[in-house]
Amino acid sequence: MSDAERNTDVSNADTSGLPLTETFRSTASGGVRWGRLGEAERDPVVLLHGTPFSSYVWRGIARALVARGYQVFVWDMPGYGASEMYGEQDVSLAAQGLVFSELLAHWGLAEPLVVAHDFGGAVSLRARLLHGARYRALALVDPVALAPWGSPSFRLLGEHAKVFERLPPALHRALVREYVGSASSPGLHPAVLERLVQPWLGEHGQPAFYRQIAQADQAHTDEIQERYGEIGVPTLVCWGEDDTWIPMAKGRELADRIPGARFEPIAGAGHLVQEDAPAELTAALLDFLQSWRARA
């Protein structure tokens, strides 16, 4: 099937998402929706999404991990997806790192396998280096980790968030569609694009979209980027070769900063590797995770 056919066949799209049936009340940022797939005695894998996405982007990979015998934890960061959104909410990387540490304790996970994308990568790194979170192994997928990051458009939106919050809904929707769509190299299926855009619409979603951009402060990665040599767990760095949001050179640099880290380029994928090359990413993650699933 060609890209054009894939992007117009609505019946071919997986829009079911993941069951986030539980709520955790964080100390910093309100209600967090989360879910668990697979049998409780299996090795735990925690998936972290990035911005402006949600756990939805992990739907296929989460099910593949369950099918291969893992227990999978998924969650929407506060201010994202199905989790709570409200005015003046702290959705910064600093807050999200603390929330993730709290969630690990709430789940009773001492040393899970962790897979993190984009801002979720920064969240997992902050939790590890600043809050003492322990992982058995860490896989980072196109993470926000090294300065400089944030495109000119991203910075413009953040600097004028209060102005953009007042856009007419139709203009706001068009802006979000264009922004989210640019994360893919071959282009997102229309139904998938709509599913990713939907949480950012309406009375709560529209201001939440600009709030998370306004709070995206590079200082939160500057604080830790000289400490990546201290991560101290087996690490995989995957990167979409066609990522226009964060160039692949940043991935190679990050892998070089982490002792023993393995770098895995993903051909034909942009920043949103889960959508662009799900089979290739799943294969890379399974190969890595299965090396460490039985090790304490």
DSSP string, 64-133: HHHHTTEEEEEEPPTTSTTS---TT---SHHHHHHHHHHHHHHHT-SS-EEEEETHHHHHHHHHHHHS--
Residue range 273-285: average pLDDT? 98
pLDDT at 87 over 70: yes
pLDDT at 139 over 70: yes
User: If you search the block for the tokens 């309406």, which residue do you land on?
Assistant: 202
Among 66-80, 147-161, 200-214, the minimum mean pLDDT is found in 147-161
pLDDT at 5 over 90: no
Residue range 11-32: average pLDDT? 88
- What pLDDT score was predicted for residue 273? 98
- What pLDDT score was predicted for residue 11? 44
pLDDT at 7 over 80: no
- What pLDDT score was predicted for residue 44? 97
- What pLDDT score was predicted for residue 207? 97
| Better pLDDT: 151 or 58 | 58
Return the H-helix or E-strand segment holding 235. Answer: strand 235-240
- Quick one: pLDDT band at residue 291, thresholds 50, 70, 90? confident
- What pLDDT score was predicted for residue 152? 86
pTM of the shown model? 0.94
| Better pLDDT: 198 or 8 | 198
The number of residues in the chain equals 296
pLDDT at 128 over 80: yes
Q: How far is CA 62 from the centre of its chain?
A: 13
* pLDDT, averaged across the chain: 94
Tens of pLDDT along 26-78? 988 999 999 999 999 999 999 999 999 999 999 999 999 999 999 999 999 99
The proportion of the chain whose per-residue pLDDT surpasses 90, expressed as a percent, equals: 90
Which parts of 130-206 are beta strand (E)? 137-141
pLDDT at 8 over 80: no
pLDDT at 194 over 90: yes
pLDDT at 4 over 50: no
